[in-house]
Every structure is written in C-alpha cells, then in structure tokens.
Amino acid sequence: MALKQVSPTDEFIKGLWRDNPVFIHMLGLCPALAVSNTAINALAMGAATTFVLLMAGLSVSLLRSFIPREARIVSYICIIATFVTCVDYAIMAISIELHRALGAFIALIVVNCLILGRSEAFASKNNPGRAILDGLGMGVGFTGALFFIGVMREVLGSGTLFGVELFPDGFQTWTVMVLPSGGFFAMAIWLLVVNWIRQRQADAEKQAAEQAGETAS
C-alpha cells in the first residue's frame, strides 16, 4: 500500500489518546454514560467491550476476503452479536450481581457504534495482527474513558471508590452524579479537560513551529 507506514505500537497507542473513541470521536457514548455510575461497573463494561472489539476485529480481519462487499455490514453485525452473546452468558456465569447491574447494556454492546466502526474502517482492510492491536488499543482507550467518568461519578455521587468510603461522615454526597443527568455532566467536564489539553498542545506546537521558522530565516 502506498499509505504512510504505521508502526505496530502506534496502532495500539492511537486508541489511547489521539483517536480515543469516547473523548475524541464520541463513539459508544450510550454505554459510556449509562453504566458509568460506579468505577467497577465502568471497568466491567470496558472489559466486555474490549473483548468483543478484539474478537470481532480478529474475525472480520480473518474473513475479510470471504465477505462480499454488499453483505459486509450484516456479516459484521452477526459476528459482533455472536461474541456479545458469549460475553452476556459469561458475565451471567461469573457474577449474577454484575449482570444485574449492567442489565440490558451488555446486550447493547452489539449496537455500540465503536465496534462496527472499527470493523468497517480498520479490521476489514488490515491483517489480523494489526486488527488485534487496533482493537486492543481502542478497547483500552474506551475502558480508560469509562473508568475516568465512573470514578468521578462514584466519588462525588456516593463518596466511595470501589465501594470503600473515602470521606469522613460530614461529606454531603452529590446525589445528582449517580443519577442519569450526572452522566452527562461528568462527560461534559472530562470533555472540557481533554479539549483544554489538546488546545494547549496545539498552541505549543504552533509556537514551536513559528520559533523554528524564525531561527531558520
């Protein structure tokens, strides 16, 4: 391919920050907001999604020469739905409480645009090795984003982290953070932080480029 060569590590790293699915591309927002009311739920959801992302990426990449172009979306959805069913039953077997807390949102991993998006945009065009790295990177990026939102909501909303009390008795919990609207607010706050950092990075790069231009002339 005439495309710019991308190193395998870069394939993994890009999902963590530069192409973070949640904060940069706004993909998979529904589970990111819905099950991030505690840190442990957020981690479980992230792990389940990562598994599906990884397995779907691998399968799509392996089957990419067999799947006809016209039927590709339906085939991808079937592949994804198969792995989601596996995860659904696995979580039910491991911890019925967790299954109850995540509810229908495990089944809803099927319609997480992130997974279909990566299958279509990346795994269908790349070899299995790269598809795995990409899936892993995106999955970790997704999990990280969910975890950050979850930590903020749990600490502020219930005053705990992983179920451990953090504050002395006098702390008034912000109940709104565990309610649905808290999900929107926590996401908005993290988005602002990410935007601010990106803005600073862009400014610094611009300044560096200008300085380099000045010294050259």
Partner 1 sequence: MNDAGYWSIFLNAALINNFVLAYFLGICPFFGVSSKIETAIRMSGAVSFVMLVASACAFGINLVLEAINAPYLRIISYILVISSTVQLVEMLMRKLSPPTFRALGIFLPLITTNCAILGLALFQTNKGYGFTQAIVYALGAGAGFALALVLMAGVREKLDLADVPQLVKGTAAALVVAGILSMGFMGFAGLGR
**Using rule CB under 8 A, residue 187 touches partner 1:** yes
DSSP secondary structure, 119-183, as one string: IIIIITTS-HHHHHHHHHHHHHHHHHHHHHHHHHHHHHHHSEETTEE-S-TT----GGGTSHHHH
How far is the first Cα of the chain from the last one, in angstroms, to the nearest whole number?
37
By CB under 8 A, residue 104 contacts partner 1: yes
Burial 108-127 (b: 16+ CB within 10 A, else e): ebbebebbbbbbeebbbebe
29: contact with partner 1 by CB under 8 A: yes
Question: What's the min distance (Å) between Cβ of 198 and partner 1?
Answer: 10
The answer to whether 40 contacts partner 1 (rule: CB under 8 A) is no
Site residues for partner 1, 60-99, by CB under 8 A, read 73-74, 77-78, 81-82, 84-85, 88-89
Instruction: Choose, by CB under 8 A, the member of 9, 195, 201, 211 that binds partner 1.
Output: 195
For partner 1, the binding residues (CB under 8 A) are 26-27, 29-31, 33-34, 73-74, 77-78, 81-82, 84-85, 88-89, 104, 107-108, 110-113, 116, 176, 179-185, 187-188, 191-192, 195-196, 199
